[in-house]
Chain A
Amino acid sequence: MTANPYRPIPVRIEQVTIENEARDLKSFELSFVNEEHRKGWHFVPGQFAFLSIAGVGEAPFGIASAPSEPLLRFTVKRIGTFTTALHELDRGSIIGLRGPYGNSYPWDLMTGRDVVIVSGGFSFTTLRATLVHILQPENRPGFGDVTVIYGARSPGELLYKEELKELEKRPDLRLVICVDRLNGADWPKTEGLVPNVLRQVAPAATNAVALVCGPPVMIRFTHPVLKELGFSPDRVFLSLENRMKCGIGKCGHCNIGPKFVCKDGPVFSYQELLTLPQEY
C-alpha cells in the first residue's frame, strides 16, 4: 500500500511567538509527535508545507526555519478561516503537517556566488530559512557576499526583530532593514520602499543571484530595479504563493499556464515566468 499523499502527520505546537504590533502575525514552532516522522522529514530552504486542523481545513505556508534548526517554524498571518483558527491554538496543541512540497531556491546556482535577498512584509519566512542556512558556519564559505534587503510597512511589522538585531552585527552579511515609515522609531535605520532601497544599496550583479519574495506590488516594482542593476532574468528567482489545495499537482488551483506552483514552483526564475501568463 502506497502512502496516502493527503494524510497529514501529527505535530505539536511547542512555541508561539507574536511577531508584530498588529498581533496578526504569529510564529509557530513545531515538533514531530512521532520519531519516525521526524527522521523521514527532509527539506531544503524555499520549500513549503501544509498545516492542517481537522474540522477547519488546510493551508500552505513557507517553511521559515532552516533544516539545521531543531523545531520547524511557520510564520502565519491571520487572514482567513484557517489562519484564524490556527492563531487561537496554544502551546501543546496537536495539528497536522503535510509536505515538504515544491522545489527550493536554486542552491546549486547560488553556490560560489553572491546572494541578494529582497523581501517585503511577511513573505520573509522562507528567505529567513535561506539566510539562516547560508550563515551556518559550515555553509557560509560556500557563498560570496550576502546582501539582504528586508522591508515592512512600519517598525512594528518587521518579523523576527530580535534575531535581525543580532544579524545586523555580523560582518559577513550586509543586512539592510527598511520600513515605509519610521514614525519616529530609532530602529531600523532606513526609511523607504524596498525597490528604492534596493536601488540605493545597489548590490553588484556580476556573479550574483537574487531571490525575491514579497507582495505582488513589491515584486512588480522590484523587477525593473534588478534589471537596472544588471541582473539577467535567469539570475532572478521569485517565490510565488498561488492558492493551492493539494500540494501535489492534482487539484488544479495553483496553475500558471501549464505549470503548477506547488510542484514546479514555488520558486521560478524570472526567465521562466516570462514564458508564462501573468497569473500570479
Chain B
Amino acid sequence: MADSKRISKIILAAVIAFFLISWIIKGLAIHDEDSVLWFSVRDAFLITLAAFLTLAIFSFLYKDNPYYKFAENLFVGVSAAYWMCVGFWSTIIGNMLPNLSESLSSTFGVPYKGFNIFYIVPLILGILLLMRLSSKAGWISRWALAWIVGTTAGLNLVRYLRTDFISQVSNTFVPLLVDWKGFGAFYSGLSLASTGQFVMTLSNWVIFIGVFSGLIYFFFSKEHKGFFGVASKVGIWVLMITFGASFGYTVMGRVSLLVGRLTYLFKDWLGLIS
C-alpha cells in the first residue's frame, strides 16, 4: 500500500516535471523577437494545458486514474458553468429582459422592445419551478412541469407524424416494376448498372419487402409463428444487415476524429510533423 502510494507520487512528480519542461520548450519555440514575452508564456501554457488534458483523457483507455478523474471533474464543472452563462446572457438578458423592463435593459445594454405581458408567464413558470427547492411548496413546481410536458407532447405528436412518419410512408409507395415494357425488353436490356431497370426494380422490391417485414417484426400483439414468424424473421435479418452496414460505415468518421486529435498532439504541441 505504502509502496503504491510512493509510486504514484513519483509518477505525479514526473508528469508535472514533464509538462513544465514542455511548457518551457514550447514557450521558447513560439517566442521570437517581435512577440511580447508574457504572451508567448501564456500561449505556451494554454497549448500545454490542452495537451495535458488530451493525454489525461486518453489515459482512461488504460484504466481509471487520478489524471482522468481530474480532467473529468474539471470538464463537468467548467462546462456546466459555461452553459449556465450562455443561457443567462442569451436567453434571460437577450430575450426576456428586453420585453419586460426598460431600465434593466439599458443597464445590460440590450435594446428595449417594449413591455410585453406575455413574457411574465415564463417568469412565473420559472419561479414556480424554482419552488422545488422548498420542501413544503415543492409540489407547486408540478404546474410548470405539467405545462412543459403537455406542450411538448402535443407539439411533437403531430410534428413527428408529419416530418418522419408520413413522408416515410409515402416514400414507400414505389413502383415495383420500373419502366416496365414487357419481359422481352426486360431481358434484352438487362444490365447491372446502378441506374438500370434490373437494379432499380430489384431495389424497389427489397425496399418493399424490407419495410413490410420490418413492420411485422414490430408487431406486439401477434405471436411470431407461421406467416408472422417467417416475415418477422426476414425483418430482423434486414435490420441486422443494416446495423452491420451502419457500424462499418461509421468507422471512417471515428478514425477521422482520432486523426484530428493526434494531429493536435504531434503538430500543435510537439511540432513533430508539419
Q: Do the two chains belong together in a single complex?
A: no
Which residues of chain A have a CB within 8 Å of any CB of chain B? Answer: none
Which residues of chain B have a CB within 8 Å of any CB of chain A? Answer: none
